[in-house]
Amino acid sequence: MILFSVEASFGSLHLQKTHFKQLTLLVGVSGVGKTKIISFLHLVRAVGLNHAKKAPGMKWKTVFNIDGKKYLWEGKTSSDKKNQQYLEIQSASVKDNQKNDEIFLEESIKIDGEAIVFRDHSKELFEYKGAALPKLKWSESAITLLAEETEIAPLHQALQNILVSDRDPTWYMEHPRLEDDLLSESFVALQSKKSVPLLVRAKALQDYFPDRFSEIVRDYIDIFPYVEDVKIVSAKEYFPQNIVGPVDLWIVVIKEKDVAEWIDGPSISDGMLRTLYFLLELYLAPKGSIFLVDEFENNLGINCLPQLAKMIIERAGDLQFVLTSHHPYVINNIPWTNWKLVTRSGNDISTVDAEDVPALQTKSTIDRFYLLINSDAYKEGVR
């Protein structure tokens, strides 16, 4: 499964049709709309899996290639101007407790050009494979309403497989009440439990699939060679003096060389914790996932970036990545043929493949990042 292209409008912004490769690195000066593209992708997921209030007044056209078939999904939601002040990746623009007045005004799904779903609220029309359906909720997407149908299920799964990297990871979590067999059945089954918090799945990985967890630890030690071990443990067992009452926590701890005691979360640097979370996200992402990472370098030291970029390249066969970055260590470690230059003219955001930027079409040994930031296309990013 691969996200092929997206075109969308939300609020005052319009994203021109943008194609994505198996690995796409969005580059450009600050303010051109790199983060907004990530936000658009997140909103497309939210409106498809939830309801119209997740993106009021949005219009989109998205193409997925799934098992050799082309899925075209288009839609438009009703506008609620008071909810269009912000386009935020984590809040998806509105809070869940607001009144749900927004609806799907239009929606269609085509598979290899064949119309499967057609909705038009102005005509009170909702057709599936040419047959009119009984009255269904206009506030929910056809993908959600028809998720169990054979033709729609792959598209529903594709939206579920859009994952957003956590930019603010936590080092602890209260013990959840989960049945062990929900997380221990198989590694693939564990990967599929995307609704389960990452730290919970990481604990299950450590307990039930220790060889795979050891791979993460080895990769982590390669980045931080002064580290001996990483675990997710009971706070009551390792730090009983810090726990009061009956509640226990699972916490991230690391063991450094020549340091007698285990180091718990509050004493772990933001960069070290962010690196561990990113490794866990990579290992626990199901095959076929679309992984969104905004400002990849955030909270990461220079010593981390080349190796993490290498891991992304290695996983790009199983996962699809859409990243943004300003950092030369990131950009230079991603093949330049995977760069996509973002520019903005007024409210219109557009992109161009780096291969189509004249200044980069050279056999010169000059660093391509240097050529990129000195190209007219880059410097004139906002017009």
The domain ranges of the chain are 1-161+335-383
pLDDT at 87: 44
Q: Which of 18, 23, 27 is nearest to 325 (CA)?
A: 27
Task: For strands 131-132 and 104-111, give the pairing.
Answer: unpaired
The Cα–Cα gap between 292 and 312 comes to 12
Compute the distance between CA of residue 59 and CA of residue 74 in angstroms, rounded to an integer: 8
In 3D, which of 217, 195, 323 has the Cα closest to residue 275?
Answer: 217
Torsion of the alpha carbons at 27, 32, 35 and 41, rounded to the nearest 10: -90
How far apart CA 37 and CA 151 sit, in angstroms, is: 28
Range 211-220 contact pairs with CB under 8 angstroms and sequence separation of 24 or more? 212/187, 212/283, 215/283, 216/276, 216/279, 216/280, 216/283, 219/279, 219/307, 219/311, 220/275, 220/276, 220/279
Local structure of 11: helix, strand or coil? coil
236 burial via Cβ count (<10 Å: 0-12, 13-18, 19+): middle
**Which pLDDT score, from 0 to 100, does residue 257 have?**
95
pLDDT value, residue 362? 79
| Measured distance CA(340)–CA(350) in Å, rounded | 10
- Beta strand 320-324 pairing with 339-345: unpaired
Q: What is the pLDDT of residue 178?
A: 56
Mean pLDDT, contiguous 10-residue spans, the chain (383 residues): 89 94 96 95 93 90 95 91 44 40 93 97 94 91 96 95 88 70 79 88 93 96 96 88 79 94 90 94 94 92 90 93 93 93 95 92 76 89 83
pLDDT score of 86: 41
From the CA atom positions of the chain, what is the Rg in Å?
A: 23
Residue listed under structure tokens 């990481």: 202
pLDDT confidence of residue 382: 86
What lies within 8 Å, CB to CB, of 279 at 6+ separation is 216, 219, 220, 311
